[in-house]
C-alpha cells in the first residue's frame, strides 16, 4: 500500500469518492483518511496539527461511521470540543457526503484494527526529555504546575519552533487538571484568540468571549507573538491579563522569541509579560537528541539499533518534531513493508521528514491575511479599490511584504492586487521602504508581519 504524503482536495475528489463507495477495504479508508488529515493540516497551526492530528489513526469505516483512533482521553476531549466540526467538513469536502465520526481511545480499539500505532505519546512531564537546553524551562513549568499562581506569574517560555514549548504548556495543563480537577483551564494560541475576538465582535457576543477567558483559573496561550500589531486583540488581551492576574490566576505564555523582541507588541503588554519569569528553550544537544529518539522508539515498541539512533541525532539537530517524525517513519516502514530500521532506511526516513516538514510555500494570500489582521481590515479591502487611509496603507504594506518575501515581479504583484499596474506597485514599495527608515514603529510592525508569515 502506498502512503500518500499530500493531496490536492479538488484534484483528488473523484478518485477518493470512487475509492470510498462500498469501502470495506482498509487500504481505501487509510488513503482517504490521510487526505482528511492533510485537509486539516492546511487549516490549523503546525503545533496544533502535531499535537492533535498527526497521530490520529484510521481504524475502520462501517455503516456510515468512520472510527478514528486517538492516543489519550485528553486528545479525544480537545478534538471533540474544538475540531470535530473540522473533521466532518474534511470528509464532506473530500467525499461529497456526510460521515459520522467515532473517536476511539487506543486501549478501546479492536485488536484487528489494521493500521499503524502512533504510540501512547502524551504531552506530560513524564514524557518530556530534559537536557541542558531546556532544564530551566522544564523546572519552571514543574514549579508552576505544582503551585499555580504562586511560583511564577506569568511564566513566559520562548524558543524556536519544534523545541517543546507546546509540550510544556500541555504538561502544565495535564498536571494541574490531575491535581485540581475543579480548576477551569483554557488553552488557546494567539491566532485563534484573534479570530475568536473577530467572531465575537461580528456576532455581538463579547460578553460570552469575556466569560470564556476572564473567568478561568489557568490561561495558557501558545504563539502569543501573533497578537502583536493587532490593536483590538491586544486591547482585549491586556484586560484579560489584568483581570486574571489581579484575581491571582495563573498565566502561562509561549512564543518563538522573548517579549522584548516582539516589536509590534504594546509596551504595556511587553512589560506585563516580563513581570514573572522568562525561560528559554534552546536546540537539544547530541545526548538529549539520542534520548528523545530512543524514548519515541520505546513508545512505538520499535527495536531501534544504537547506531541508527546516533545517525539520526547527528543529522537532525534543531527540531524535536523532526526527530520523532523520523522514528515514526521508520516504524511505518517496518510495519507496512517489513523494512528493518537500519541506517539506509533512516536516510530515506530523514529525507521524507524534511520534505514533509518544510513550511508550505509562503503565499500572497497568507501575507495579505496577516497584513489585514494587523491593520484591522479585511483581505477583500486590501484587494479592492477603496482608498481610505488605513486600507491604502495596508495595501501598500501588503505589496511591500509580498515583494520582500516572495521576490516576484512588480507586474505579478499588481495582478494579485486588483490588476494594478507596475508603477503603482513600485510606488507602494518605495513609499513603505522610505517610511520604515524614519518610522521605527512601522519598521518593527512590518518586521513582525514578515516573521509571523515565515513562522
pLDDT digits (tens, 9 = 90+) for 200-232: 888 888 999 998 999 999 999 998 988 887 888
Please report how the helices 306-315 and 320-337 are oriented relative to each other, as an axis angle in degrees rounded to 10.
140
Domains and CATH numbers, the chain: 1-112 (3.30.300.180), 135-280 (3.40.50.300), 364-454 (1.10.1750.10)
Over residues 305-356, the pLDDT tens digits come to 999 999 999 988 888 888 988 998 898 888 777 889 999 999 988 887 776 6
- Residue 144 neighbours by CB distance under 10 Å: 27
Pull the grid cell for residue 22.
Answer: 462500498
Q: Which residue would you say has higher pLDDT here, 172 or 127? A: 172
Side by side, the strands of the sheet bearing 65-70 are: 57-62, 65-70, 100-105
User: pLDDT at residue 114 above 80?
Assistant: no
DSSP state of 184: -
Render pLDDT for 130-154 as a digit per residue (tens, 0 to 9). Answer: 989 999 999 999 999 999 988 899 9
Q: CA–CA separation, 43 vs 89, rounded Å?
A: 11
Determine the pLDDT at residue 8.
35
CA–CA–CA angle 96, 98, 101 (5° rounding) = 135
Quick check: 15 pLDDT over 70? Answer: no
Is residue 182 exposed (0-12), middle (13-18) or buried (19+ Cβ within 10 Å)? exposed
Dump pLDDT digits (tens) for 417-451.
888 888 999 999 999 999 998 888 888 888 888 88
pLDDT mean over 380-389: 89
The pLDDT, as a whole number, for residue 3 is: 33
Give the dihedral sign, CA 276/264/209/246: positive
CA angle 448, 449, 455 (to 5 degrees): 85
Q: Which of 111, 6, 24 is nearest to 62 (CA)?
A: 24
Long-range contacts of 136-144 (CB under 8 A, 24+ apart): 136/279, 136/280, 137/164, 137/165, 137/168, 137/279, 137/280, 137/281, 138/168, 140/277, 140/279, 141/168, 141/171, 141/172, 141/252, 141/279, 144/172, 144/250, 144/252
pTM metric for this prediction:
0.65
Distance CA 184, CA 199 (A): 23
Given a cut of 50, is residue 12 above it in pLDDT?
no
* pLDDT of 117 strictly over 80: no
Signed CA dihedral, 326, 328, 329, 330: sign only: positive
**Higher pLDDT among residues 101 and 117, named by residue:** 101
pLDDT band of 107, cuts 50, 70, 90: low
Mean pLDDT, the chain, as a whole number? 82
Amino acid at each position: 500500500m502506498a502512503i500518500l504524503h499530500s493531496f490536492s482536495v479538488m484534484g483528488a475528489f473523484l478518485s477518493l469518492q470512487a475509492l470510498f463507495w462500498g469501502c470495506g477495504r482498509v487500504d481505501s479508508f487509510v488513503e482517504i483518511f490521510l487526505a482528511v488529515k492533510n485537509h486539516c493540516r492546511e487549516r490549523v497551526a503546525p503545533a496544533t496539527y502535531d499535537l492533535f492530528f498527526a497521530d490520529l489513526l484510521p481504524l475502520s469505516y462501517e455503516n456510515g461511521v468512520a472510527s478514528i483512533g486517538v492516543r489519550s482521553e485528553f486528545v479525544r476531549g480537545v478534538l471533540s470540543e474544538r475540531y470535530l466540526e473540522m473533521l466532518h467538513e474534511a470528509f464532506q469536502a473530500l467525499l461529497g457526503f456526510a460521515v459520522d465520526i467515532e473517536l476511539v481511545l487506543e486501549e478501546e480499539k479492536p485488536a484487528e484494527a489494521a493500521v499503524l500505532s502512533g504510540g501512547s505519546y502524551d504531552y506530560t512531564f513524564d514524557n518530556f526529555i530534559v537536557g541542558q537546553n531546556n532544564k530551566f524551562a522544564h523546572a519552571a513549568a514543574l514549579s508552576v504546575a505544582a503551585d499555580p499562581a504562586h511560583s511564577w506569574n506569568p511564566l513566559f517560555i520562548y524558543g524556536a519552533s519544534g523545541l517543546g514549548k507546546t509540550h510544556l504548556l500541555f504538561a502544565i495543563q495535564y498536571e494541574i487538571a490531575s491535581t485540581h480537577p475543579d480548576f477551569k483551564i483554557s488553552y488557546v494560541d494567539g491566532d485563534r484568540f484573534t479570530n475568536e475576538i473577530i467572531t465575537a465582535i461580528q456576532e455581538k457576543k463579547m460578553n460570552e468571549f469575556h466569560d470564556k477567558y476572564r473567568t478561568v483559573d489557568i490561561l495558557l496561550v501558545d504563539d502569543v507573538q501573533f497578537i502583536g500589531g493587532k490593536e483590538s486583540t491586544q486591547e482585549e488581551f491586556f484586560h484579560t491579563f489584568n483581570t486574571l492576574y489581579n484575581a491571582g490566576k495563573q498565566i502561562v505564555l509561549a512564543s518563538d522569541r522573548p517579549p522584548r523582541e516582539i516589536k509590534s507588541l504594546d509596551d504595556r503588554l511587553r512589560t506585563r509579560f516580563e513581570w514573572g519569569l522568562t525561560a528559554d528553550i534552546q536546540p537539544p544537544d547530541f545526548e538529549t537528541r539520542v534520548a528523545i529518539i530512543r524514548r519515541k522508539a520505546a513508545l512505538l515498541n520499535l527495536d531501534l539499533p544504537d547506531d541508527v539512533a546516533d545517525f539520526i541525532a547527528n543529522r537532525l539537530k534543531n527540531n524535536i518534531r523532526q526527530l520523532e517524525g523520523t522514528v515514526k517513519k521508520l516504524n511505518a516502514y517496518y510495519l507496512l513493508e517489513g523494512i528493518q530500521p537500519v541506517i539506509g532506511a533512516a536516510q530515506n526516513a530523514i529525507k521524507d521528514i524534511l520534505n514533509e516538514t518544510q513550511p508550505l510555500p509562503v503565499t500572497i494570500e497568507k501575507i495579505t491575511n496577516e497584513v489585514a489582521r494587523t491593520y484591522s481590515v479585511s483581505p477583500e479591502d486590501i484587494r479592492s479599490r477603496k482608498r481610505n487611509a488605513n486600507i491604502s496603507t495596508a495595501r501598500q504594506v501588503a505589496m511591500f511584504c509580498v515583494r520582500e518575501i516572495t521576490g516576484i515581479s512588480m507586474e505579478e504583484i499588481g495582478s494579485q492586487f486588483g490588476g494594478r499596474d507596475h508603477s503603482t506597485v513600485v510606488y507602494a514599495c518605495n513609499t513603505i521602504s522610505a517610511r520604515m527608515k524614519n518610522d521605527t514603529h512601522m519598521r518593527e510592525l512590518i518586521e513582525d508581519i514578515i516573521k509571523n508569515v515565515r513562522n
